[in-house]
Amino acid sequence: MLDIVIMAAGKGTRMKSSRPKVLHTLAGRALLQHVLATAAGLGAQRLITITGHGAEEVEAAMRSAFPEAPLAFVRQEPQLGTGHAVQQAVPLLDDAGTTLILNGDTPLIDASTARALVDACGGTQLALLTIDLADPTGYGRILRDGDGRGEKLLGIVEHKDASAAQRAIREVYTGMMAAPTALLKLWLARLSNDNAQREYYLTDVVAMAVADGVAVVAAQPASETEVLGVNSPLQLAELERRLQRKQAEALLEAGVRLTDPARFDLRGTLVCGGEVEIDVNCVFEGRVELGDRVHVGANCVIRDARIAAGAVIHPFTHIDGAEVGAGALVGPFARLRPGAELGAEVHIGNFVEVKNSTLARGAKANHLAYLGDATVGERVNYGAGSITANYDGANKHRTVIGDDVHVGSNCVLVAPVTLGAGATIGGGSTINKDVPAGQLGVARARQTVIAGWRRPTKKR
Ligand code: UD1
Ligand code: CA
State the pLDDT confidence band at 151, using cuts at 50, 70 and 90: confident
Residues involved in catalysis? 367
Ligand with minimal distance to 9 CA? 1
Q: Are 143 and 157 in contact (CB under 8 A)?
A: yes
For residues 81 and 196, give the distance between their C-alpha atoms in angstroms, rounded to a whole number: 12
Q: Residues 6 or more apart from 303 whose CB is under 8 A from it?
A: 268, 284, 285, 286, 288, 319, 320, 321
Residue to probe by mutation, ligand 1, list 49, 77, 82, 195, most atoms within 8 Å of CB: 82
Decide: 49 in ligand 1 pocket, CB within 6 A.
no
CA-nearest residue for atom 1, ligand 1, is 175
Q: What percent of the chain has pLDDT over 90?
A: 98
Point out the least confidently predicted range of 34-48, 135-149, 344-358.
135-149
What does the pLDDT look like over 238-278, one tens digit per residue? 999 999 999 999 999 999 999 999 999 999 999 999 999 99
State the pLDDT confidence band at 147, using cuts at 50, 70 and 90: confident
Strands 381-382, 406-407: pairing kind: parallel
CA–centroid distance, residue 82 to ligand 1 (Å): 5
pLDDT of residue 184: 98
Q: Are 47 and 37 in contact (CB under 8 A)?
A: no
pLDDT of residue 97: 98
For range 377-388, the mean pLDDT:
98
For range 365-373, the mean pLDDT:
98
CA 345 to chain centre: 31
Ligand with minimal distance to 142 CA? 1
Decide: 85 in ligand 1 pocket, CB within 6 A.
yes
Examine the pLDDT at 3 and tell me if it is beyond 90.
Answer: yes
CA–centroid distance, residue 196 to ligand 2 (Å): 11
Decide: 143 in ligand 1 pocket, CB within 6 A.
no
CA–centroid distance, residue 41 to ligand 1 (Å): 24
CA–centroid distance, residue 82 to ligand 2 (Å): 8
Examine the pLDDT at 148 and tell me if it is beyond 80.
Answer: no
For range 278-289, the mean pLDDT:
98
pLDDT of residue 457: 95
pTM of the model: 0.93
For range 342-355, the mean pLDDT:
98
pLDDT of residue 150: 83
For residues 59 and 22, give the distance between their C-alpha atoms in angstroms, rounded to a whole number: 11
12 CA closest ligand 1 atom index: 26
CA–centroid distance, residue 406 to ligand 1 (Å): 66
Structural domains in the chain, CATH included, are: 2-227 (3.90.550.10), 233-441 (2.160.10.10)
Q: Residues 6 or more apart from 64 whose CB is under 8 A from it?
A: none
What does the pLDDT look like over 94-119, one tens digit per residue? 999 999 999 999 999 999 999 999 99
Decide: 155 in ligand 1 pocket, CB within 6 A.
no
